[in-house]
Amino acid sequence: MTEQANTGNHPLPPSLVHFQPKAPQPRKRPTALRAGTLAAALGLLGLGQLSCSGNRVHSADQELEQVWLGAQAGSGHASPAPTSGSSQAQSPRRKLPDGHPGGWTLEMVLERIKAANPNLAIAETHIQEARAAVSEAKASYLPTLTLSETYFSTNNPGQAFGLLLNQHRLSLGPGFDATPGVTENWRTEVRAQWALFAPGRREGRRGAREARRSATAMRRFVERRLLNAGVQAFEGLIAAQDLARVLQESVNVVKERLRIAEERRDQGTALEVDVLRLKTRLAKARQEAQSAFLAAKKAEAALNHLMGLRADSPLVLASRDIGALETLPSTLDEAIRRARAERGDLQAASHRVLMRDWEKKGKKAARLPSLVAFGAYDIDTRDLDLDAYFDSYEAGVALSWKLDPGVGPRIRQAQARLRRERERLRALLLDAAKEVRMAWDQLEVARSQLALATEGAKTAIEAWRLVSSAYDNGNATLTDLLEAVNARKTARTRKSAAQAAVRIAKLRLIGAMGGVK
């Protein structure tokens, strides 16, 4: 299969003792092939240097840039700050939605989450990694090309004779010297290898496709869950602000009653103890309002976190309308079926099971032989002059069967991974059904509590109105008034919390079924 054997690493066989090769041709004939080979090799080397050179992290925010510089300084490899003329300084940054002077709407919040939440960026990198793995699996079907330039020097007679033979400079006639001395050789080689049949290659490619589908489904699941969390945080902020407003109104009511009590005390129609009791109640109301204000600030920080903003970033809502929610199923069984059909984490887990199944099949396929076609073109000379006269080539196919005792254990490992992924999928199905059931029950309870809170608020407001009128006319005590004020505040707070609880319970049910679309 080889027209001219390469004997550079073997002693001269006895059959060549009386071999008289042709004298080397004095005229050099440069070839475009060798020149192109050298140019291509140098080009590939340059590209490799560029691809392997360290690049600075392109930060999206100034804080990330500072963290990067600090980490580099701590490791002793600090990089200089980019100049205005650097490529990093000239690269445009992606424009992110930052709201408008009028504040944030829910649509803007969700767009910001999709554009800036780091969890989505992490999920996207998993997809990119899986796509690269698929491309790598496809590339295994293509031949590989190797370009090399080798320098070799030896004083070993056997190796030297082989080099001289390849260079067409061996003479075995009269005056033959069995000790040629130091011999040098430059070899330019182009070698191609093509795996016609590789055990496990097909299984690896299909497994990579399943990994890509799993990453895509997981990214979709993360996005829908984050959007669902964004709507919940938006609704939670509205609820916290409503509660703060209700408690502030209670403060105003107590302040007004305190003003009236002080006037009556000055007129001699009320006792000092009544004023003190109202002052005590005012202090408690203010404390409750401050707690509600802190809760609203925490809700703002949570929503900023989801949007990839600083926790203390100003957050003003331009609209308090979250729009119509998705149509909820009428029965619990329908909700569970919808979750099984739409949840991306279940789909991702299913693809991981298929991926592990292909992995197991690939490990079993390792018991089969491999078939490889190969070919090479060489030029051997004692210097770097280009001359096609000293060329040679080789071509052939190789069938190999590797009897590896480690195949069996690797198959068992793959089988264990497959069983683990199946059990994880089963556990995830149970968790999804449990999450849907808990969200369903929570929504039912929230609806019942809202009905009770609405009726209680009506009663408490009417009772406060009657007691206030009676107290102003001297027909009710301060204790009666304080109890009515407290009952009114409690009833309104419960109604506001119950309304928010119903909306959030609906969102949690939507999230359990897969998240906001």
pLDDT by residue, tens only, the chain of 517 residues: 333 434 333 333 333 333 333 333 444 444 444 444 434 443 433 434 433 434 433 444 555 455 545 444 544 444 343 333 333 333 334 455 555 556 888 889 999 999 989 999 999 999 999 999 999 999 999 999 999 999 989 988 888 888 888 887 777 766 666 777 888 888 889 999 999 999 999 999 999 999 999 999 999 999 999 999 999 899 889 888 888 888 888 899 888 888 888 888 888 877 888 888 889 989 988 998 999 899 999 999 999 999 988 888 888 888 877 776 778 899 999 999 999 999 999 999 999 999 999 999 999 999 999 999 999 998 888 877 666 677 888 999 999 998 899 999 999 999 999 999 999 999 999 999 999 999 999 999 999 999 999 999 999 999 988 988 888 887 888 778 888 888 888 888 888 889 888 988 998 999 999 888 7
- Here the tokens at position 402 are 């590797």
* pLDDT score recorded for residue 81: 39
H/E run at residue 195: strand 183-197
* pLDDT score recorded for residue 354: 95
The answer to whether the CB of 118 falls within 8 A of the CB of 308 is yes
* pLDDT score recorded for residue 215: 95
Q: b/e per residue, 276-297, with b = 16+ CB within 10 A?
A: ebbeebbeebbebbeebbebbb
Structure-token match 């506001």, residue found: 496
Number of Cβ within 10 Å of residue 386's Cβ equals: 19
**Terminal CA-CA length for the chain:** 63
* pLDDT score recorded for residue 369: 94
Q: Which residues contact 121 (CB under 8 A, 6 or more apart)?
A: none
* pLDDT score recorded for residue 99: 56
The residue ranges of DSSP E strands in 15-107, in sequence order, are: none
* pLDDT score recorded for residue 327: 83
Give CA–CA dist 210/314, Å, rounded.
Answer: 43
| Phi, psi of 371, deg, nearest 5 | -130, 120
* pLDDT score recorded for residue 413: 96
* pLDDT score recorded for residue 58: 41
* pLDDT score recorded for residue 95: 53
* pLDDT score recorded for residue 96: 57
Q: Which residues contact 119 (CB under 8 A, 6 or more apart)?
A: 222, 226
* pLDDT score recorded for residue 79: 39
Q: Which residues contact 234 (CB under 8 A, 6 or more apart)?
A: 106, 109, 303, 317, 322
* pLDDT score recorded for residue 66: 52
Number of Cβ within 10 Å of residue 437's Cβ equals: 14
Structure-token match 């698929």, residue found: 134
| Phi, psi of 200, deg, nearest 5 | 85, 0
Secondary structure class of 145 (helix, strand, coil): strand
The answer to whether the CB of 390 falls within 8 A of the CB of 168 is yes
Secondary structure class of 279 (helix, strand, coil): helix
* pLDDT score recorded for residue 26: 41
Question: Which amino acid, residue 29?
Answer: R
Give CA–CA dist 281/287, Å, rounded.
Answer: 10
Structure-token match 């560029």, residue found: 50
Give CA–CA dist 372/367, Å, rounded.
Answer: 16
Which of 64, 91, 78, 1 has the alpha carbon at shortest distance from 373?
1
Which of 329, 322, 351 has the alpha carbon at shortest distance from 436?
329
Between 272-306 and 201-267, two packed helices, what is the crossing angle to 10 degrees? 160
Q: Domains of the chain by range and CATH?
A: 1-30+141-197+373-403 (no CATH), 210-351+416-512 (1.20.1600.10)
* pLDDT score recorded for residue 100: 54
Give CA–CA dist 442/347, Å, rounded.
Answer: 26
